[in-house]
Every structure is written in structure tokens, then in C-alpha cells.
Amino acid sequence: MRDPKASSTIRPEAIIIVTGSELVRGELADENGPFLAAELARLGLACRRITIVGDDPGLLESAIAEGLDADLCVISGGLGPTHDDRTIELLAKAAGRELHVDLELERAIDLVGRRYARNVGSAYHAFQAGVRKQASIPEGAHVLGLAGTAPGVTLEREGRVAVALPGPPNELQGLWPAALASEPVHNVLVRVPPFEHRVLRFYGLSESTLAAALEQAGGESGGVTVTICARERELIAEIFVEPGAEARAGELEDALAAADPDTLFSRDERPIEEIVLELARERRLTLASAESCTGGFVAGRMTGVPGASDVFLGAIVAYANEIKEGLLGVSTETLARHGAVSAECALEMAEGARRALGADVAVSVTGVAGPGGGSSEKPVGLVFLCAAGPDGRLEQEITFSGGRDQIRRYASVAALHLLRRLLTHFRHIEV
């Protein structure tokens, strides 16, 4: 609707379309929307919406037709060989272009199909049917390359660009650099005006308190936009600054930071596990975890960071009490007197993990994840944590609300933040 060339200070707009019937039936959570949205935000485009739609031709076509109205429309999924893969055909229809078979593309897909059939020991005829279908692209479209047998495609139309990419996240992400490097997409990206983005992250602060601090400082104004959102019990304030509004942005940033300085832990977007690993690395300390109710989530997050192995040694998931006793050395008396969900047990688990895993610092988590197993004394959501290091310990008791998965995730985040606090205050001991 709006003229893409109207003003050079307006950010080009993008629409993301994700297709897959399993997504609108809730059988799978989409990963491509978040990936593409983060990429587009990083590049400075404004994402109008993410539309998730099934493979019904009418609904998919109307979603694509809406998408073609944006400066950049990225479509994921529906490029496969099966009957319900209809993206390219409907993109052509929505754009008013004919489909034609790209002979070079057909040869390339044929080759990949033959190789794959050989590898999995499958008969090639199962693949052959899909080759011509996958080699058919709209008139004027350009091929970005193949992911498996699926081609990524760009289509330019009156200064607006559509990009179709395969649905499997690794294939989409594999073709994404080629999409960015392609001439049509590049021509959209050069229209992005300069902009700035600041982040403040808090742990242990209420959303209302931060909203009140923003209000008292005069709120959004003069080219500064602020969003506040809670995520896994972290509170994230983002400040978007138009050119010339740096001074006003600085005022708001200071006011937000002053809302509760003790809870402000980061001014960048690195996940908490990366912050913890870096703190330990700087202090030359190794890390480990002892987990009961979180069942390995803390270790899973730590080891998700590339290069974690120089700091993070490992974990003991002590789900059964026998393992708490046998491997972590939690005393039989502690378990009998206080139970596995207790501050005493958390403390012995953390010290036991340091010993058993040979780590300088260990964090432990034990709690009632539910839905069963709660009591009036120890309700579902009650979690005890302990971070123990060479110069001291931090202990914490929290009761989380929510379902089993949420309690486990929140408890993992709490464990990571407890480690952060312990490491931040670590008094370096010269050896």
C-alpha cells in the first residue's frame, strides 16, 4: 500500500510467511519465524507480521498475496516434493507469473536425488516424480541454490521482493546467506536508514516497577521507542533510537537503569549461560552442576554455548536419591530428616558435585516440578538452589508457579543467575 520509495528515513517493511499444516495444528512450534525475524531485525527491517498458515491452497495464496505487498516477503516451507508442497505454484499465481521448468535446475535436482537414493539404498523412482515439480519456478524468478532437493527462489516485482526458502530449519538457514547476497534482497537492504538499539536486562525486578520508572522519566518521546518484556523471569527493556535522539535515549536509559540497579545484570543480548561461562573463564574457574528436578537443563544450556568445554566440566543428574547419596555424597541423615527437596540437600549436592566432578564451582537444584509430589509443606514449584565455590556459597529458595516444564525452565534460569552472582562477587585468590 505505501510507496517503498516514499522516504529514505522509513525502514523497509518485511512480512514473514511460514507454511506447514503441522504448525497450525500445533503439533510443532515454528523455528523459522523467530530465526527470520531476528535476522530481519538485525538488518534493520521492520517486520510487520509473521503469518503461519497451513497448506490449504486458498489460505496460503491469500497469505502470499498479502506478503507481496511488503518490501521484502520471506516465505518458508512448502518447497518439497510431496502433494501438499504448494508454495512455488501459489507464489507464481499471487504474483501473476507463469510457471516454467528451469532445465539447469532440473539437472541439479536430479543429481542430488540420485545421490541421496544411492546413500539410503532407496529406489530412485521414488524421487523422480518430484524432480520436475521442484524444478518448476515462476517466470523471472532466480534460483538461490539447493538445500537437499529443494531450491530457494527470489522473485522481484515493482521494487518489492519475495524469497521462498525450504521449511526444514537447517536447510532454510543454509540458504539464507545466499538470499541476503542476492541482488534483489541486497537492493532492499541498502534502503535501510541508520538506527540504534540499546538493551537493559534485569533479573528480580517487577514489570510494573520498570513501567513506572519509564513513566516517571516522561515515557517514550522524541524519536525514542521503548519496549519492556519479561522472558523466563528476566525483564528486558529495549530502547530504539532514531538518529538525533541519542540524548533523550540516554536520559531514559539512565532512568530505567536506576529503577533497581542491583537487578540490572546486562546491557547486551548474550544469554545468561554465556555470561556465566565468560565470568568463570575470566576468573579461571571450572563449573559443574548437580541437578534433580531440572534433570540436566542447566548442563544442557551451558553446553549449548560453543566452546563451553574449557570451563564447564559436566553434571550429575541425580534424579534418584541413591544417586544423590552414592555419587554426590548427600548424607542419609539429611535425606531422612529434611528430604531431597531441602536447603540442606541442595548444599550437599553442590559441594558433592564440586568434589565428584572436580570443579571449582558447582550449582545444585532440587525441587518439586509437579504436577504430582507436592504437599502443603513442600508445594509444587518449591525449589532449593545452592551455588558453591572456593570462597563461599549462595543459597536460594523460590516457589515458582506454572506447569512442570515452566518450573523446570525457571529453576534452570535461577541456577544460572545464582552462579552469576557468586562469580561476580568472587574474591580472586592468588595461588
Q: Do residues 76 and 167 make contact, with C-beta atoms less than 8 angstroms apart?
A: yes
Q: Looking at 39-47, 156-164, 188-196, 419-427, which segment touches its own copies (CB under 8 A)?
A: 39-47
**Touching its own copies, residues 108-127 (CB under 8 A):** 116, 120, 122, 125-127
Phi, psi of 220 (to 5 degrees): -60, 140
- Residue 193, interface with its own copies (CB under 8 A)? no
Q: Do residues 239 and 252 make contact, with C-beta atoms less than 8 angstroms apart?
A: yes
Binding residue (CB under 8 A) for its own copies from 34, 159, 271, 329: 34
**Residues contacting residue 250 through CB under 8 Å, at least 6 positions apart:** none
- Residue 196, interface with its own copies (CB under 8 A)? no
d(CA 88, CA 66): 15
- Residue 300, interface with its own copies (CB under 8 A)? yes
Q: β-strands 136-138, 99-101: how paired?
A: antiparallel
d(CA 345, CA 335): 7
Sign of torsion over alpha carbons 110, 111, 113, 114: positive
Q: Looking at 185-193, 286-294, 388-396, 420-428, which segment touches its own copies (CB under 8 A)?
A: 286-294
Binding residue (CB under 8 A) for its own copies from 75, 327, 368, 414: 327
Q: Looking at 86-94, 104-112, 181-189, 367-375, which segment touches its own copies (CB under 8 A)?
A: 367-375
- Give 98 or 401: the residue with its C-beta nearer to its own copies: 401
Place of cell 543454509: 174
CB of 301 to its own copies, least distance (A): 8
Q: Looking at 98-106, 313-321, 382-390, 417-425, which segment touches its own copies (CB under 8 A)?
A: 313-321
- Residue 30, interface with its own copies (CB under 8 A)? yes
With CA atoms as reference, report the closest residue to 88 among 149, 38, 133: 133
Q: Do residues 137 and 153 make contact, with C-beta atoms less than 8 angstroms apart?
A: yes
**Touching its own copies, residues 128-167 (CB under 8 A):** 129-130
- Residue 83, interface with its own copies (CB under 8 A)? yes
Q: What does the per-residue mask of binding to its own copies show for 201-220, with x meaning CB under 8 A?
A: -----xxxx-xx-xx---xx
- Give 97 or 225: the residue with its C-beta nearer to its own copies: 225
- Give 183 or 332: the residue with its C-beta nearer to its own copies: 332
Q: Looking at 40-48, 87-95, 154-162, 418-426, which segment touches its own copies (CB under 8 A)?
A: 40-48
Mapped onto helix, strand or coil, the DSSP state of residue 16 is: strand
- Residue 194, interface with its own copies (CB under 8 A)? no
With CA atoms as reference, report the closest residue to 129 among 105, 109, 148: 109
CB of 114 to its own copies, least distance (A): 12
- Residue 223, interface with its own copies (CB under 8 A)? no
Binding residue (CB under 8 A) for its own copies from 227, 332, 375, 424: 227
Tell me, what amino acid is at 45? L
Q: Which residues pair with 388 in a beta bridge?
A: 362, 393
- Give 128 or 331: the residue with its C-beta nearer to its own copies: 128
- Residue 36, interface with its own copies (CB under 8 A)? yes
Tell me, what amino acid is at 164? A
- Residue 22, interface with its own copies (CB under 8 A)? yes
Binding residue count for its own copies, defined by CB under 8 A: 112
- Residue 247, interface with its own copies (CB under 8 A)? no
Q: β-strands 382-389, 392-399: how paired?
A: antiparallel
Q: Which residues pair with 99 in a beta bridge?
A: 138
Distance between first and last Cα of the chain? 68
Phi, psi of 18 (to 5 degrees): -120, 125
- Residue 258, interface with its own copies (CB under 8 A)? no
